Amino acid sequence: MRCPKCGHLKDKVVDSRLVQQGAVIRRRRICQACGHRFSTYEEVVRVNLRVVKRDGRHEPLDKRKLAAGLERACEKRPVSPDQISAMVESIVGELENEFDREVPSTAIGLKVMSRLEEIDDVAYVRFASVYRRFRDVNQFLNEIEGLIDRE
Ligand SMILES: [Zn+2]
């Protein structure tokens, strides 16, 4: 890190501590040329993921919207609000790992479906039927047959 006083590029870290509940590390440094002490802060770069919709439009990834979609699919089903928020967190966590900046909406839909499939078959079919916009009745029936086969 360039010394703010003399411009030298080598320094020694003499102290590191977590601040803001661990979200940031503050490092105390000493310039190896002039002995000047200065501090740096280090934090995780949060990328605001953007969703690329089927029609090519972009919009920010919105956890509330994702939660609303899950709630709609799980309406009157034995799925708790805690389960919904856990799904939202794990989906967004995976998306942040897998994508740098832009997320195709299809990737989100597939993640939602794989979670609903484990939690509740009715919610899964509801979501899948809306999400996949079944082109014909047969496609929808195949989906349901797939569920029945597993029971
Ligand atoms: Zn210096």
pLDDT band at 133 (very low <50, low <70, confident <90, very high): low
d(CA 33, CA 21): 33
Helix (H) or strand (E) holding 31: strand 24-31
Query: Does 149 score more than 80 pLDDT?
Result: no
Residue 12 CA, ligand 1 centroid: distance in Å = 11
Q: Is residue 4 part of a domain?
A: no
Domain of 87, in residue numbers = 50-149
| CA gap 83, 66 in Å, rounded | 13
Q: How far is the CA of 7 from the centre of ligand 1 (A)?
A: 6
Ligand 1: distance of its center to the CA of 25 in Å?
A: 22
54 and 117 together in one domain = yes
Q: What is the pTM of this model?
A: 0.60
- In contact, 51 and 63? CB cutoff 8 Å: no
> Does one domain contain both 62 and 27?
no
Average pLDDT, the chain: 86
pLDDT band of residue 19 (cuts 50, 70, 90) is: confident
Are 36 and 56 in a shared domain?
no
pLDDT attached to residue 17: 94
Report pLDDT digits (tens) over 33-71: 999 999 999 987 766 889 888 788 888 888 888 888 898
* pLDDT grade for 137, boundaries at 50, 70 and 90: low
Model confidence at 134: pLDDT above 60 = no
Residues in a beta bridge with 42: 25
How far does residue 44's CA lie from ligand 1's centre (Å)?
27
Number of domains in the chain: 2
**For residues 69-83, average pLDDT:** 90
- CA geometry: angle at 31 spanning 26 and 35, to 5°? 115
